[in-house]
Structure 1
């Protein structure tokens, strides 16, 4: 084994030879043997081997192996020095091998060492992106679990930092090709990371690129297979994939395939879904995804059939008014619970798909269906109005920090939900039902309207009391829906708000869907006096209406 003095002497020989250093093979061999010495000799070898590596192509394998031995040394300072110099070996055909070695070294638990590996990989990425990707994907496909995991995370975090001249179209095509191979067998977390990688590629941010990604997600979701609601893995896979697909949909990239699958296979099994994550309201999560996708659904083959499935599911959450006994009290002991969060999702989805088939509720065959639906809408709307008034009163005058309390946050969300439902019910109560109004789902960020456009129901979420609308025929989405009085109104019965279903905030799960909060259950109680007043007030209005009508006719 060479001593420190011998290493310096042979280093001098090679340094003095400059371009003819390749003629001194024996001197370089002495330096290679330095890896077998003590700590001082190894540190020198870690620096000297890469410095003259390019002059000895015939000793390339020996030199790389010697440096690799130093990368695995017990002395952390030697390892760090050896890793730091690895990019100097990344020339020609050696680059994929160096990339492979560096990828394996990502498993290091030493933070300084780990950062050196990351920097070294980025360095050779800029030399030859394709060669570096070859080494990375080789380990992702065949390496140990810890190496695979860290290599994927490296790609998901570092690719976006590379300049455009490195991430050329050809390089992005290679990333897509190799990613498809990996996606044949991935975990849920890995799938999310790969979608992050692919959606960040410039070439896939076009309409055709996003369509390609949607097809990739659909394939991963296995939409051709029968849905098993009792299998948590099956449910989880569908949720994971749908969450990744939703941001890709637009007016040019349609969600039809996913919406069809949800209507045909998921909605009929909604109540029997097995949650993959404890504490997750799986039914609400599914309905939210369906609502988000419904805006971008294209032409659907079985539109009427699927719209019926959606409508039937909506009716499950839109109860008929309780029957009244002869004394005017409710015949049943319990009154229906109103699940506003569910209804918002289902009503929005129906509203979106219904505009594609406006005759769905108005055909002669559906006359009774429309009659029944309007009774349900009217009953729901009455409860909604009182609830909206109470929420506005509770939030009136509250700003800043006061609105940041957990209770008020939930009330703000509740107000968004109820206002959305209110706007949609107004549309459906038109004759014939209308599908023109636009709302922003309660868990989605509000989009600022362009100047000159009408303000939609999102404006109703303000904590300040509503301003009076100016006189005139203009409609304002902030108005509270007043159900029309008619021959069904006297059969609605009194409505108890003590049984209001909990309003859930948008919820959050481990695999990060779209900025949601944890599920909270905070019932909003409304005094029975409000119920009585609302009911009595309604009958007073009806009486006045008939009195005025009689006077006019008389």
Structure 2
């Protein structure tokens, strides 16, 4: 009873101190009252501490000499076990932030509080190792959500007061790789980035400021995190449609640094392969704005092509960790088990704690998403040694045996080069062409065979056309052509007839193989509709439709190969340098509406030297619609000045996410 009376008296005293400060005209004369309020934080009275958490921020600006003392008291309050005290202190922090001196420190503390609920639950579970605490865990989760929302609101209020000094400490955590970096990235993604128009004023100055923060922060990030930051940068006006070319080149340099193009290519590093392909895909829209693709293409020619067939992958290991919200439900179900069913309840309690923390990390931008990106396989708990939730990382480089890299990884490399080839300048095209021709000769048979790797050949032919369009006479020494540009590099006095004979034989063998394969595929595709009609279950229909779609893409690839190989038979061939060919895996353009107007289509010229032959060697005329459409309005592949293209000129965290 005496303790209760003392607590009530303490609360009443604080109310009196607050009323006195509120009514005072010159509050600076009542410094002793404010000091008494601050001192109450050191006591044991919970209600008094909660009231102090309200009063300290309210009169903070009236006592600048006591600012540090008051700030330390607020920091003590947010570390209290009682949720009500922590919430009240968090809500009061923005009032303290009205003094610029303390804004960075407050933002740093609030950033650290983003993980406070997780840490509290870990402490709770480690000290309550027996099972059967499902209701307590649910209560903890609810409390964490309340506290997290309070932190989010306080941080946003602080950021609106002073964007620079508030964001700088948050990005510092991302840059330094601290344990709270993923929570902060999640906060930036969900709360800050969507309201950039409101926060970044004056626009040009603040967009430049946050760009510099991001450039420092992306030195060690996951693929998903890097894409998040790059998408945000591209949404800024300083990198918009009207931005100068230098701005787009700045974006490319950020991507180049992430791709680690200055490092030696390591054939055993699957992460580097995924990083390289993901980065160049990310760079493609920026190449169209005038940024240079030189470093990527040169890296491919010098580092990757020589070891293209030697890249391998270390077998993955298993690791414990949940993938999504299902993880939380499974953890709670494990908490409800009979405690006697576990031989080691302490181990079980700690395992649950670790799993829950991992589940929360998975909600951030790099946790579970990274597991999924690496081929995560969620276990069902049937393995007694695996724990209730297990995924297997199948794509990371780890210890163990070695197997060859899956074909899709090699194909990714070729796809990225093909997609970027239209933006290569003449100098880069000249350097890359020998490597492309080398790979073409490897994957194009010299005679008809049962089948070819049509995806590889499609990518390489597409790349060959676009590079050769920029520097046509380079193909004279590589393929034995006779393209005249009037430059010494034409090398017309040299004999490359053997190169020409070999290249044409490979083209012919490839065409014969593709036509035969296309004929077989056409016959098989006619049966898909019948198979779908006769399918008894939805699963069967889904599988048949997937096979049908795959066959359709294969047919597109065959058609593209024929469309691109046909113009290459002449001594002065026609190189495709526009968008007439759409690669099979890309979104297909919609067919234009039929038009009754217009005259007869004219025959395109061939490098300004000779008319295009209607037929190549063998029986292959331009017999399909796609081939005819591909030849409409083809640009010249040679002539003086035709070599200019449309373009101009520390790894740490796991990458693959595409």
- Which residue of 274, 292, 310 maps to 1:272? 310
The answer as to whether partners of 1:71 and 1:83 remain within 8 angstroms in 2 is: yes
User: Cα deviations across residues 340-360 of structure 1 (Å, max 9, x unaligned)?
Assistant: 222222221112112113341
What's the counterpart of residue 158 of structure 1? 191
Question: TM-score, normalization: structure 2?
Answer: 0.62
> Cα offset for 1:100?
1.2
Q: What is the rounded CA distance, in whole Å, between the counterparts of 1:10 and 1:87 in structure 2?
A: 22
What's the counterpart of residue 299 of structure 1? 426
The answer as to whether partners of 1:156 and 1:196 remain within 8 angstroms in 2 is: no
Within the alignment, does 1:76 sit opposite 2:83 as a pair?
A: yes
User: Cα deviations across residues 209-252 of structure 1 (Å, max 9, x unaligned)?
Assistant: 22101012223333233322233344344334334323322152
Equivalent residue runs for 1:273-292 within 5 Å: 273-275=311-313, 278=394, 281-292=408-419
Equivalent residue runs for 1:417-456 within 5 Å: 417-429=557-569, 432-436=572-576, 438-448=580-590
CA root-mean-square deviation? 3.5
What's the counterpart of residue 55 of structure 1? 62
Q: What is the rounded CA distance, in whole Å, between the counterparts of 1:398 and 1:255 in structure 2?
A: 46
Gap regions ≥5 residues in structure 2: 1-6, 119-143, 315-373, 375-393, 396-405, 483-494, 604-613, 621-653
The farther-off stretch of 174-183 and 73-82 is 174-183
Larger RCO (alpha carbons 8 Å, 6+ apart)? 2
> Cα offset for 1:431?
6.2
> Cα offset for 1:258?
0.8
What's the counterpart of residue 522 of structure 2? 389
Change (3 A) 1:285 1:309: same
Equivalent residue runs for 1:182-201 within 5 Å: 182-186=217-221, 188=223, 190-201=225-236
Q: How many residues align?
A: 457
- Which residue of 263, 268, 285 maps to 1:247? 285
What's the counterpart of residue 536 of structure 1? none
Equivalent residue runs for 1:522-533 within 5 Å: none
Equivalent residue runs for 1:150-549 within 5 Å: 150-167=183-200, 168-186=203-221, 188=223, 190-205=225-240, 206=243, 207-250=245-288, 252-275=290-313, 278=394, 281-301=408-428, 303-321=429-447, 335-359=449-473, 360=475, 361=479, 362-363=481-482, 365=496, 366-387=499-520, 389-390=522-523, 392-394=525-527, 405-429=545-569, 432-436=572-576, 438-448=580-590, 486=617, 511-513=656-658
Q: What is the rounded CA distance, in whole Å, between the counterparts of 1:143 and 1:58 in structure 2?
A: 35
- Which residue of 134, 157, 163 maps to 1:129? 163
> Cα offset for 1:130?
0.7
The answer as to whether partners of 1:172 and 1:203 remain within 8 angstroms in 2 is: yes
> Cα offset for 1:138?
3.1
User: Cα deviations across residues 263-322 of structure 1 (Å, max 9, x unaligned)?
Assistant: 222122111123485365321111111111112112325x44521210121222222225
The farther-off stretch of 376-385 and 280-289 is 376-385
Q: What is the rounded CA distance, in whole Å, between the counterparts of 2:570 and 2:617 in structure 1?
A: 14
The answer as to whether partners of 1:124 and 1:132 remain within 8 angstroms in 2 is: yes
Change (3 A) 1:451 1:472: closer
The answer as to whether partners of 1:98 and 1:135 remain within 8 angstroms in 2 is: no
What's the counterpart of residue 327 of structure 2? none
Q: Secondary structure at the match of 2:441?
A: helix
Q: What is the rounded CA distance, in whole Å, between the counterparts of 1:88 and 1:391 in structure 2?
A: 72
Change (3 A) 1:222 1:113: same
Q: What is the rounded CA distance, in whole Å, between the counterparts of 2:208 and 2:252 in structure 1?
A: 16
The answer as to whether partners of 1:155 and 1:197 remain within 8 angstroms in 2 is: no
What's the counterpart of residue 32 of structure 2? 26
The answer as to whether partners of 1:287 and 1:345 remain within 8 angstroms in 2 is: yes
Equivalent residue runs for 1:60-139 within 5 Å: 60-91=67-98, 92-108=100-116, 109=118, 110-139=144-173
The farther-off stretch of 428-437 and 129-138 is 428-437
Q: What is the rounded CA distance, in whole Å, between the counterparts of 2:549 and 2:222 in structure 1?
A: 35
Q: What is the rounded CA distance, in whole Å, between the counterparts of 1:370 and 1:356 in structure 2?
A: 20
The answer as to whether partners of 1:176 and 1:198 remain within 8 angstroms in 2 is: yes
- Which residue of 40, 49, 52 maps to 2:47? 40
> Cα offset for 1:432?
3.5
Q: Secondary structure at the match of 1:3?
A: helix
Change (3 A) 1:198 1:510: same
User: Cα deviations across residues 96-132 of structure 1 (Å, max 9, x unaligned)?
Assistant: 1111111111223322222222222222211111111
